[in-house]
Chain A
Amino acid sequence: EVQLVESGGGLVQPGGSLRLSCAASGFTFSNYGMSWVRQAPGKGLEWVSYIGSSGTTMYNAGSVRGRFTISRDNAKNSLYLQMNSLTAEDTAVYYCARSPTRIPPGHFDSWGQGTLITVSS
C-alpha cells in the first residue's frame, strides 16, 4: 500500500523558516516524480513545487520561487521542502503527492494526509 506521511508543520513567525518532510513507503520511491501541493484554510488547491525522480529536475510555482526549495533523498525514501522567508500567505496544509507519469508535470495519484503550517506572530 502506498503511504505518504508528512511532518514538520507548525507555527512559525513571519520571515521564519521551516523544513517539511514526507516519508514514502509501499512503492519504489526513486521511480516517481513528487510534488508539494498546499491548501490555505477554506480555499482550493495550489501546486507549489515538483521534483523529478532522480532529483535533477525541479519546478516551482511563481508564488514561492526563490523562497522554497524542494529536494529528495531516494536512499531514505524521503521528500523535503525547505521554506524560507515565510509570510502569512504561506499558511496552509501542505500535502506531498506522487506523480505517476513518466513525463512531467502529470497528475497526482497518491497524497499524504497533510501537515499544517501557520505563519503568524
Chain B
Amino acid sequence: EIVMTQSPATLSVSPGERATLSCRAGQGISSNLAWYQQKPGQAPRLLIYGASTRATGIPARFSGSGSGTEFTLTISSLQSEDFAVYYCQQYNNWPVTFGQGTKLEIK
C-alpha cells in the first residue's frame, strides 16, 4: 500500500495570500495524483487530477504540480470559500490511498 503524507496538518493563511500544500507519496506514482477539497458536512470535490489538470469548473487560482513522489497544490489568492480541508489521493496502484488531509484555516 502506498502511504500518502500531507504537510502541514494545518495551515493558517490570510485571505488574498498564497497557500502551498504538500503531498508526498511513499513510492513513485508518476502523475497519478488527485486533489480534493472538503468543507464541513459536504462531500469531497475534485479539484485537480493527473497532478496538474484542473477539474471542470475549478477556478484558475488552484494549480497542481509535481510528479513521482512530491506534489504541491497552490492556491494563488485565497478566497473566503477556499478555507476547507484538502486531501491528495494516489491512483497509480491498488489500493487507492488518500493523504490524511491539510486543514486550511483563516489566519
Q: Which A residues form the contact surface with B (CB < 8 A)?
A: 35, 44-47, 50, 59, 61-62, 95, 101, 104-114
Contact = CB atoms under 8 A, between A and B. Distances in A.
B97 A47 contact: yes
Nearest to B96: A47
A111 B98 CA distance: 15
Interface string B59-98: 0000000000000000000000000000101010111111
Given A44-B98, A47-B97, A61-B95, A107 B43 contact: no
Chief secondary structure at chain A's binding surface: loop
Main secondary structure, interface of B, reads loop
Q: Which 3 A-B pairs have the closest CB atoms?
A: A107-B34, A111-B43, A47-B96
A62 B96 CA distance: 11
B3 interface: no
A112 B87 CA distance: 17
Nearest to B50: A107
A21 B101 CA distance: 27
A114 B43 contact: yes
A59 B94 contact: yes
Given A44-B100, A44-B101, A45-B89, A105 B94 contact: yes
